[in-house]
Structures are given as structure tokens and as C-alpha cells.
Amino acid sequence: MVEVEACAINRHDLWILEGDSAVIDTSDLPFVSGLDLAGTVQNIGEDVTGVESGDRVVLCPNVTCGTCRYCREGPENLCENHSLYHGGLAEAARVQADRLVPLPDSVSTVEAAALPTAYMTAYHMLRRLETGPTDLVFIPGVTGGVGVAGVQLVASLGAHSIGTSSSQVKLDRLKSLGLDYAIKSTDPNEIEDAVTNIGSVDGVLNHLGGEYTQLGLDVLRRDGRMAVCGRTAGNKSVIDIPDLFLGHKRVIGSTMGTQRDLETLIGLVASGSLTPEIDETYSLEDTEAAFVAMQDRESVGKLVVTP
């Protein structure tokens, strides 16, 4: 049992609230949402080793079967039976002990709670894009959880980022977080022109889907890669097949990351190389306000509930 001190919310929780989750059967109630929890271990089960009461921890929300081919050979997020932990939006959460990652004293539980879904996913996508120094990475919808994480991690790799948003105010905040090029637009043609003027894109971090998938392919250089993890702008994308094969472009589906990715991110925060961007914290009673802020597209970075 973990006493929850912080639990970040994600668009995933909003999909569940809206009854539009690809993962959760929302007719099956009661249901407690919240993947990204951090806090203090209250007590442990009889057979548990490696974790003790009083330990400060963050949960890696991957739920895996432990027996399939991908669990045996890795990486774990490929598990055939992969699902996600839910139950962090609460005062206490019962979790699987071996999914707990210890926190150094220098990493707060609020910072830690920001990491699992947004930062771990963005980090894993950048690994799959094989992003390296001086690469140019295009991140449409740059102001949310995955977007901001992408910007900060791209900068930490010595690569450069281009991001889009409907809000100049939010883009201005992104500049101080390391965004190199900001495009205030939601019009794909306008965005394509602006990106093309900046340079040739090596990688696209696409969490929007919809019309942003073809836009990503349009700006991608020959042999470039696009990783896709989300569908905020639409479940379906129409793409130009000749452009894909004649340009030798690659589209890569990606979901979450590995517990090792999360450990790496905690190390980056502990060493001062990464500071997760927290827009605001909310009490458990005010969780609704956090979801309203996400729905109204008001925030930059992560929204964290602190029971």
C-alpha cells in the first residue's frame, strides 16, 4: 500500500471520463483513475522483498503478464497482455511492489508523479526515433504533457525542436523550456510552410494523430521517422502512400516505455539535468478542476493532484 502524495493526470484519464477510452470499459463501475502515482510505502505484503514501509517511491504503471514472449525477451511495454495500472487518484493505492521505483531525496513526489506516462512515453519515442545531437524534431501540439516532455528531452539530447500550438501565450512559456522554433497555428498547410522554412525534419513526435500524421510525413526528410503514440486530433489518419514509399519514410507506433526508461528519467531529475514542468497542483477534492483545465487547453505541462 502506498500513501499517495501526488498523482499526475493524463489525457488518457480524460478519455476514460469522456467514455471514449481505447483501453478501459467505462461501463464497468466503480472505477478509480490515475496512473502516475508517487508517495510513501505504508505497508507491504508478506512475500514482498526489495521495498519497505517508509520508502519514497513512484509507480511504473505498466501492467504486464510476465510470461509472454515479449516479457521474456523485452522490452516489457511490448507485452501481449499489456495494460495500465489505475487507482492513483486516491489517498492510498494498492500496487505491485516490483513496479515501484525508489526516489532519491532530491526528487519530490510531485516531480516524480509527472514522469511515468508523459515523460516515459516521450523518452521511449525519442529512443525509437533514434534522435541524436543536432537532429530536428517536429512536435505538433507541443504544450501538453507529452509535448513539453518531448521538448525538454530533445534539448537534453542536443537536438532541436519545432512545436505548434493554438496559443502564443503557451508557446512563449515553452521557449524557456528549450523549444527552439514555435509555430502558432492549427492549419496544416500554414504549419507545413513554416516548418519547411525552418529545415529538414529528422523525426516527428506525433501524439495527435488525425490530420497531423500526413502533416508529419509532409515535413519529414527522406528516410526520416515518425513515432505515433496518440490520437487527440483524430482516431484515423489518411496518408499519401506514394509519398511514404518514395520518401523511404517510417511510421512507428509506440506505447509507454520501460521501467528502465523511468529509472533513467528519475536519474536525470536527481542530477538536475531535467526539471519536469508542473503547471499546477490540485487537492484530491479539486481533481475535477484539473480535468477542466486539460479539457479547456489552458495548461502547459503536467497537472498533478496531491492527496
Ligand X SMILES: NC(=O)c1ccc[n+]([C@@H]2O[C@H](COP(=O)([O-])OP(=O)(O)OC[C@H]3O[C@@H](n4cnc5c(N)ncnc54)[C@H](OP(=O)(O)O)[C@@H]3O)[C@@H](O)[C@H]2O)c1
Chain positions contacting ligand X, by CB under 6 A: 10-12, 117-118, 121, 141-147, 165-167, 170, 207-208, 229-233, 255-256, 294, 297
CA dist 28 to 81, 89, 90, 244, 300, Å? 19, 17, 18, 41, 32
The reply to whether 71 sits near Zn ion by the rule CB under 5 A is: yes
List the single partner that 161 binds among ligand X, Zn ion, none, CB under 5 to 8 Å by kind: none
Grid cell 495494460 in the structure block, residue: 83
Among 66-74, 97-105, 275-283, 285-293, which window interacts with Zn ion (CB under 5 A)? 66-74
Whether omega before 104 lies within 30 degrees of 0, making that bond cis, reads: no
> Pick from 32, 43, 45, 65: which binds Zn ion (CB under 5 A)?
65
* Signed CA dihedral, 207, 254, 178, 195: sign only: negative
Give the residue with the Cβ less far from ligand X, 11 or 56.
Answer: 11
The one-letter amino acid at 159: A
Nearer to Zn ion, 68 or 270 (CB): 68
Picking from 205, 290, 262, 299, the residue whose alpha carbon sits closest to that of residue 36 is 262
Between 64 and 299, CB nearer to Zn ion: 64
For 100, the 3-state DSSP assignment is: strand
Alpha-helix residue ranges (DSSP H) falling in 47-202: 69-73, 109-114, 120-128, 145-156, 168-175, 188-198
Residue 68: contacted member of Zn ion, ligand X, none (CB under 5 to 8 Å, by partner type): Zn ion
35, 60, 79, 228: which one contacts Zn ion (CB under 5 A)? 79
> What's the closest the beta carbon of residue 68 comes to Zn ion, in angstroms?
3
Could you tell which of ligand X, Zn ion, none binds residue 65, using a CB distance below 5 to 8 A set by kind?
Zn ion
Q: How far is the CB of 42 from ligand X (least distance, A)?
A: 28
Residue with grid cell 508517487, as numbered in its chain: 38
75: number of Cβ within 10 Å: 17
Stretch that binds Zn ion, among 58-66, 100-108, 180-188, 296-304 (CB under 5 A): 58-66
Closest residue to ligand X in the complex (CB)? 144
Give residues in contact with Zn ion (CB under 5 A): 64-65, 68, 71, 79
